[in-house]
Structure 1
Amino acid sequence: MNRIDRLTAILIQLQGKKIVKASEISDRFNISLRTVYRDVKALQEAGVPIGAEAGTGYYIVDGYHLPPVMFSKEEAAALLTGEKLMEQLSDHSNRKQFSFAMEKIRSVLRGSEKDYLESLDENIAVLRVRPTHLEDDNGFPNRFLTDIQQALGMHQVISMEYFSFQEEVATRREVEPIGIFHMSGYWHLIAWCRLRQGYRDFRIDRIRKLNVTSSYYKKNSRISLQEYLEQKRSKPHSGEQPQIVKISVDANMMRFMREQKYYFGLMEETVKGDQTELTFLTSSVGYIARWLVMFGSAVKILESDELKTAMQALVIELKEHYL
């Protein structure tokens, strides 16, 4: 990337966040901090109102905006792929909002980019494991993701009616959201539940009613999503709360796992010699155990005593069944 392109990209990066650290710019463009300082100074000398806070980072003074951004064909294709993913992996609310955003993006594309997208549109598909109609039955609207994102961003309390399949009962909850994540085909909300006085994992497609209240909570009074997930890695687990499991698989068996591994909440995959280590975040140890048993001794469990116990029970069950 030449310097002119880099200066433009740095300006876009600065407009994308309230504060941008010099180290973030350095890491993104693989340049030294000294080069970052020179580039920012060059932008300031060109008339861009960039402010700096000692020990914090750079910011664009309020009121300054770039002219409309143009997209390359490759960037436009990446956005189209994102739209396909959103259509299948998000809920009704987010699909609608992303569709509006894509209309705005298409409106600023040059004619050649529009033609390029149209030629790609019918040749890119994202297929679902579960039929969509199964998710929309039984009074679960599946349209709350946008509201939850608003509550997360504004630190607002959520009031909702939640149905637990484990207890087979619907309860009214007031929760303080700390994060959302997508796992095994479902969106999950992690929040501090005022009813249970603890952090809980709520499947968003099990929410029947939801309202973002006018009450606010202090962000610093709750842990972050990453801290929550790290605690789940190091503490015992129970019920439907998600937990970390880690396995090592013989390299020659990996071709048989292929896309299946993503359905069980794959978080990380690392090749180590003739072994591949896989880390999953799963809410059902029994479910993943029944999948792993087919691979026999080619799988070694590195983390989760609960998974080891579940595997042992399955092996005994199979042995007794075939005696």
Structure 2
Amino acid sequence: MNKTDRLLAIVIELQRKGVLRAEDLAARFETSTRTIYRDIQALSEAGVPVVGAPGQGYSLMEGYFLPPVSFTVEEAVALLIGTDFVEQKFDTGYGVKAQSARGKIEAVLPESVSNEASRVRATMRLLAAGDAPISGQEKQYVEALRQAILERRKVKFHYSKNRPEIDGNRHSHRTAAPYGLVLVRGSWILVAHCELRQELRHFRLSRMSGLTALEDPFSFPPDFQLQDYLPADDRNVRVRVLVSPAIADRVKETCSFYLEAFEDREEGLIITFRVRQPEELLHWVLGWGANAVVLEPEALKIRVREEAEKMLKRY
């Protein structure tokens, strides 16, 4: 980083953090404290109001902003989420530039806008965007749920489960306290405390209908942070499948949530999956056709055979 870029970056860091020591700035920009002292002097000579407090560090005079850019909360959130997306989906070079851009955006926001933007961003998390289109209803639900989270109001909705065999009921009515929204492989997921199950649950917005925000308030658990939240992994069933070399590369590139490991063999690729129910992989295996053979468990072998027999009868 050349001196000009570093001087601008120092101003941005001071605007973001408030007070920083020379040692902090030196570590941030991978240079010496002596260089930072010279940079601070150069900024002062250029008219940037840098204030130094012995034993505390450097700060900018209150009210100083560079540059004078004005964003609404919604504009700021859109830009910041955009940098999150670029950092995740692009290469390392663009990821670094996205981090730099995010820092500049945060630095020029007035405190009130910055605080509100942080509050909104804390309700959403981008894990893996995926390529699947999001329906208009899903987008409406994202907006409604985001507002309910910010206002700390419970919601109610009808929910369609993908595994009705658990309790024999595919459709259910739910009332929940919404804690946050997560985008996973193109699907929006609501993380919420479900009153029916009396525990934290995940709900796909694509399986919701009749979403309504209630007047009933709720409080977040004091120890809950969406950015740090990791759901319990209850995928306890191991599935092993042998696929032929003809489709091995395609299977590797699926990046399935269930894929745990793969091993190259002369006869093909042995893939190990971990799932909650073997049936969760049924459509994958059927899609691979004769190029895939289930090695275990026996229950999935039987299900594949049954489906193949049904298909044969239809044709």
Q: TM-score, normalised by structure 1?
A: 0.48
Q: TM-score, normalised by structure 2?
A: 0.49
Determine which structure has more spread, i.e. the larger CA radius of gyration: 2
